[in-house]
Amino acid sequence: MPNRLSKESSPYLLQHAENPVDWYPWGPEALELSRKTDKPLLVSIGYAACHWCHVMAHECFENDALAETMNDNFICVKVDREERPDLDKIYQVAHQMLNDRSGGWPLTLALTPKGHAPFFAGTYFPPSPRQGLPGFGDILNSVVAHYAANKGEMDSHVTSFRSALNKLNPVGGAERPEAISALDRGVEALKERFDAVNGGFGNAPKFPHPTQVDLLLRHTAAKREHHKVSLAMANKTLRKMALGGMFDQIGGGFFRYSVDKQWKIPHFEKMLSDNAQLLTLYADGYCLTKNPLYKKIVTQTVEWTINTMQLPSGGISSTSDADSEGVEGKFYVWSETDLRAILSEPEYDKIEQYFGLFGEPNFDGKWHFNVNQEAESELPDSLDDDVLNGALDKLEQRRDDRIHPNLDDKVLTSWNGLMIKGLARSGRRLNDHDAVAAAEKALDFVRTVHWKNNRLFVTSREMQTQISGFLDDYAFLAEGVLELLQVKWQTSNAAFLVAVCDAMLEHFEDRDLGGFFFTPHDHEELLHRPKPGADDAIPSSNGIAAAVLYKAGVLLSKRSYIEAADRTLKLYGRGIVRGSSRFASLTSALLDSETNCRTIIIRGKESDARPWLNQLNQSFMPQHSIYLIAENISGLPDKLAEKKAIPGKVVAYICNESEFSAPIEDLKSLREQLSKA
């Protein structure tokens, strides 16, 4: 018989609707029942594309005996971490505090009935002891015994745990750091962790860390001391990820992370949030280096986003599953028999040489494609190899006949904001009209469906919205709108940007200390109210909020935005100084707010002014924002309207916080002034 999750809209929660576990969604019913019965909450947090979530569900949550133990002793709660990032942020940190190591998914917690403080936290557990992991049944019995023996101490545990979490939020009184020094320190820290052989940072499992690679590109553009070393680190990382198993060499798009440090074998889920950030990164990498490999990666990732992830409504789906037919990676891997049955002999030979299909297959008896080192040395010529590309097209067509991984088709505001930015950035770097059109469709959907009564909602599925929005929904969407305005000015989008920024300030800003809480002021009371500053799998929402408010403040002459950004940067000043590579988004926001950063407004007839914009977009100038506002555009804010078009001419204005230049009437002069800045 289905449990309560059968009434939910989240694909992840629906995956568990037939479990024998008496699951509740997080909400008043479950929390009140826990208090009334004095049973602890057993909370499991995961997401629809998570491979180990599927494994634990099959092994433990479909096990009648384990389900009986769970139902008898706990109020069992399932949480989709993509719908409830507020809960996930709190309890991932709690896992770190209890275990002195990072968590992951599935995240497994036992919480007190009052206050909801964790007294146990773990991740995946098998049903019985295996490979050094305790069995889930033994874990449940230990947790039950611990709670029974320590009931009298749980109230003080809640108080002390809440106090410890609250100390993680930054305190006021810091000074705003100097941006270039912070950039230099961040790059020095990245040098120490850099993998000089394989690119990236640290050992296995290896994640892409796009905000940190972006810091290397910004250091390169600033032409700081050793900037060529920064470029070399960025190039090594971008190249190795692009050629390895992290990238889907047939269908485009990046997988979540690599289980090895060489980027060869991934976990096979594809997350919109990762691909959005990497799309932006590779578009900028191409702009800086003109490397045709990066252009190919951008093009294929845009195509994957449009063809696989974007729904007919315009919204973009969240994730593509790691598994198909119950097997991780089955959709993506090939046996030699498969390949020889599809390809001609010359095509097979080319694929064999390019991907190094020699010796033992690299994934469960089959091949997952990685470009081998010998073929890597022949780039970029091989990118235009007709035999190779013809073989890859054949494999893609045949693969499309396979059973596809499940798609989590809920639309997340925050991740759509990230992808709107990625598509718009790709559109202006590569002059890709399809990418821009996809970004516009996604924004139209979010604006129409997720924006109600001047508030954003976190998610929708089948046009039904759920949950009032969090800080990253506002900050990431606003950043996407700003990026789209740089491709194509629409006054209605500028007005929407103002509405989103105003709502973000109203509902999230800490008016006493500065910065932004992750949850709105009217959100349910949780164990902790975080103010995240460091980047994790996605950028810091405070870093993006500061950058957006500064740029929008200069563009639209809104002093209140600039002051809010400044308060945020001061609040996180100590964090930036201590660890600017971990606070990469805030460091970038700090760079954006320096006085040598400029907003460029181009005015004139659209057909005459567009070449100016296209040429400027071919130069990597991360410190500048460039907007083309055609001469026939009306309804501009007063200060922006003062940057007038001159009939029959194209002119540009360079703006900062307090002033804008005289009109500049030729592109060469504009380039010279920007170069000096």
pLDDT per residue as tens digits for the range 71-114: 999 999 999 999 999 999 999 999 999 999 999 999 999 999 99
pLDDT per residue as tens digits for the range 442-493: 999 999 999 999 999 999 999 999 899 999 999 999 999 999 999 999 999 9
Q: Read off the pLDDT of each residue in 644-648 and give the average, rounded to a whole number.
A: 88
Closest CA to 417 of 312, 506, 493: 493
pLDDT band, very low/low/confident/very high, at 384 (cuts 50, 70, 90): confident
d(CA 603, CA 631): 6
- Residue 90: predicted pLDDT: 97
Contacts of 334 (CB under 8 A, 6+ apart): 366, 367, 369, 395
d(CA 217, CA 102): 28
How many C-beta atoms lie closer than 10 Å to residue 289's C-beta?
19
Is residue 368 within 8 Å of 245, Cβ to Cβ?
yes
pLDDT per residue as tens digits for the range 199-218: 999 999 999 999 999 999 99
Contacts of 133 (CB under 8 A, 6+ apart): 124, 125, 126
Closest CA to 547 of 566, 573, 575, 571: 566
Average pLDDT, the chain: 95
The residue with tokens 């800080």 is 471
Is the peptide bond preceding residue 361 cis, with omega within 30 degrees of 0?
Answer: no
For the whole model, what pTM was predicted? 0.96
- Which contiguous run of DSSP H or E holds residue 250? none
Residue 380 pLDDT greater than 90, yes or no? no
pLDDT band, very low/low/confident/very high, at 510 (cuts 50, 70, 90): very high
Residue 595 pLDDT greater than 70, yes or no? no
Q: E strands of 429-587, at which residues?
A: 451-452, 455-461, 464-468
Residue 315 pLDDT greater than 90, yes or no? yes
Is residue 515 within 8 Å of 560, Cβ to Cβ?
no
Domains of the chain listed by start with CATH number: 4-166 (3.40.30.10), 179-326+406-592 (1.50.10.10), 332-399 (no CATH), 598-676 (3.40.30.10)
Contacts of 98 (CB under 8 A, 6+ apart): 118, 120, 121
Closest CA to 247 of 293, 316, 306: 293
CA angle 626, 630, 636 (to 5 degrees): 85
Residue 1 pLDDT greater than 70, yes or no? no
What is the DSSP secondary-structure string of 366-390? BB-----HHHHTTTTGGGG-HHHHH
Q: E strands of 35-106, at which residues?
A: 41-46, 75-80
Q: Read off the pLDDT of each residue in 550-574 and give the average, rounded to a whole number.
A: 95
Percent of the chain predicted with pLDDT > 90: 90
Phi, psi of 383 (to 5 degrees): -65, -25
Residue 172 pLDDT greater than 80, yes or no? no
d(CA 226, CA 215): 14
- Residue 93: predicted pLDDT: 97
Is residue 480 within 8 Å of 316, Cβ to Cβ?
no
The CB-side HSE value for 70 (13 A sphere, CA atoms) comes to 27
Q: Read off the pLDDT of each residue in 505-528 and give the average, rounded to a whole number.
A: 97
pLDDT band, very low/low/confident/very high, at 381 (cuts 50, 70, 90): confident
The CB-side HSE value for 444 (13 A sphere, CA atoms) comes to 12
